[in-house]
Structure 1
Amino acid sequence: MQTKWITFDLDETVMQNPFGKWVFPELVAMLKREAVTEEDIMHLIISEHLQRMSDEQFLEAYDWDDILVGLAKKLEIETDINVESMVIKHSKPSKVYLLEENMLFNLEKIKRKGFRLAAVTNGYAKYQLPVLKQLGLDTVFEEVITSDSEGFAKPHTSILGKLLVKGEVIAHVGDRIDHDVQLANELGILSVFIHRSLPEAVLKVPVDERAAHPSFIRLCEEKWYKENRLRETPFLKNKCIPDLVVQSIEELAKEIDVFLE
């Protein structure tokens, strides 16, 4: 029997990384001590990330060390900032966490139904692996596919090349329309969109019918344009609407085998 893989995005899907609350504030404080500028340094960091996304440099958009080197040059300062070491320092309990209380149990529940699990992330390995290990996710995911290890970033389908050699990828789960849903739809596999603040009207609808609900389509379109706010990229239902919509991994674990029969 061919191996059947289900792939998962990491950040905002399974776990919370330390960048927003811990790494970025420390980076900004370090740069402010060296730079003579009135500019908002956090804004400069995010603007460069978004510009790379706009230019479809999806791989380079998550190279935070390179972004910091470029910013330091622009601010005319010398710095030995190492983002990887900062991520390691902040990969501690309470600073990084799983997004659901029973996350590990429910991921294992999916595995017990006969599927193998892999993480597929645009984050670089050096930033993601310390968090995975701290949270115990390194023992749940049999493969961790990062954009820098593959040379491609979502939604480029080649990011899954390694897994496609090892078996069949049958579903991808994630929280972004532009990265996750589009990737799965391009491959023709089950696209599972997770959103933990779904409208009540959508939650009342069966999981496999939510994607057609008008309230969800509006939510989906709004999210698409927010994700692509610097790009003139149209919202196309065949690329942007997922097959399944869930509010939690727990909800997915209860019925995933039914939808993949």
Structure 2
Amino acid sequence: MTDAIIVFDIDGTLMDHRASADEGLDNFLRLIGAEPTALLHDTWHRAEQEHFMTWREGKVTFAEQRRRRMADLLEALVKPVSDTAQLDQLFGAYLVEYKRAWRAYPDVSSCLEELRKRGFELAVLSNGDDQQQNLKLERIGVREYFACVLTADSLGVAKPHREAFDAAVEALGTAGSELTYVGDDFELDVLAARTAGWRAFHLDRSGTRCVRGCIRSLNELPALLCR
């Protein structure tokens, strides 16, 4: 691969994970006879953050963090389940609804197309399961833009660990100083990438955190990269 590679996060950057998760949860809850509430949404998102981080740190398997998330939701519904097979089955039912709700942000395709026209190579570095993250890119219609898709699953280490970025450098075949990372999580994506010697932009769609290298839309990116 050549120099000047722009590397993207997926969830919260290219794909609207939060909206997809909310819609998927609502549909799943109705399937099991429960009414969606703000409390259940808060419980689900807190469980995701807690248990996904535990997986990211290598303390549990990817399947186990899913089971723990589902177990927390069922506790909140006062329908506790501890059986592994049943938890897997229930999470599978949620996953069907979550996948149906996958969507790209409106600014994604135009940004990627413009970067490609300007001669940049594009890649992905994402936490998560390799198969699922590739499927997300395909379903939201942007997989064709990326010459390389790297995940915590395929690399064996997750962001924000320095080793994840170093492994990406090796896989992409260029120096970290020639790589630019774009992500929505300031600590997990931006600070971690900069610590590894990369250039990084923080995609803050909400506009709540004004820091160096902050953009509010991906459509701002091509002009900034060409300065």
TM-score normalised by L of structure 2: 0.73
Amino acid at match of 1:51: E
Which residue, 100, 121, 131 being the options, matches 2:106? 100
Relative distance call for 1:255 and 1:47 in structure 2 (3 A) is: closer
Tell me the residue number matched to 1:158: 163
The count of residues paired between Structure 1 and Structure 2 equals: 208
**In terms of Rg, which structure is larger?**
1
Unaligned runs of 5+ in 2: none
Tell me the residue number matched to 1:207: none
State whether structure 2 residue 22 is matched by structure 1 residue 14: no
Counterpart CA distance in 2 for 1:52 and 1:88 is 20
Which residue, 118, 123, 129 being the options, matches 2:134? 129
TM-score normalised by L of structure 1: 0.64
Tell me the residue number matched to 1:204: none
Amino acid at match of 1:69: R
Which residue, 68, 74, 89 being the options, matches 1:81? 89
Alpha-carbon shift at residue 139 of structure 1 (Å): 0.4
Counterpart CA distance in 2 for 1:85 and 1:146 is 24
> Contact 1:172 / 1:184 at 8 angstroms: preserved in 2?
yes
Alpha-carbon shift at residue 119 of structure 1 (Å): 1.3
Identical-residue share of aligned pairs (%): 21
Alpha-carbon shift at residue 111 of structure 1 (Å): 2.5
Cα RMSD, aligned residues only: 3.4
Relative distance call for 1:113 and 1:146 in structure 2 (3 A) is: same
- Residues 191-228 of structure 1: per-residue CA shift (max 9 Å, x gap): 101122337xxxxxxxxxxxxxxxxxxx35xxxxxxxx
Relative distance call for 1:174 and 1:7 in structure 2 (3 A) is: same
Which residue, 119, 123, 134 being the options, matches 2:124? 119
Counterpart CA distance in 2 for 1:106 and 1:54 is 30
Counterpart CA distance in 2 for 1:128 and 1:121 is 8
Question: Which segment is superposed worse, 108-117 or 20-29?
Answer: 20-29
Question: Which segment is superposed worse, 245-254 or 22-31?
Answer: 22-31
Alignment of 1:1-261 (within 5 A): 2-17=2-17, 19-28=20-29, 45-52=44-51, 57-59=55-57, 65-70=63-68, 72=71, 75-78=80-83, 79=86, 80-81=88-89, 83=91, 86-87=94-95, 90-92=98-100, 95-101=101-107, 103-165=108-170, 166-169=173-176, 170-198=179-207, 219=209, 242=212, 244-258=213-227
Amino acid at match of 1:23: G
Counterpart CA distance in 1 for 2:60 and 2:151 is 11
Alpha-carbon shift at residue 133 of structure 1 (Å): 0.7
Counterpart CA distance in 1 for 2:2 and 2:136 is 31
Alpha-carbon shift at residue 187 of structure 1 (Å): 1.4
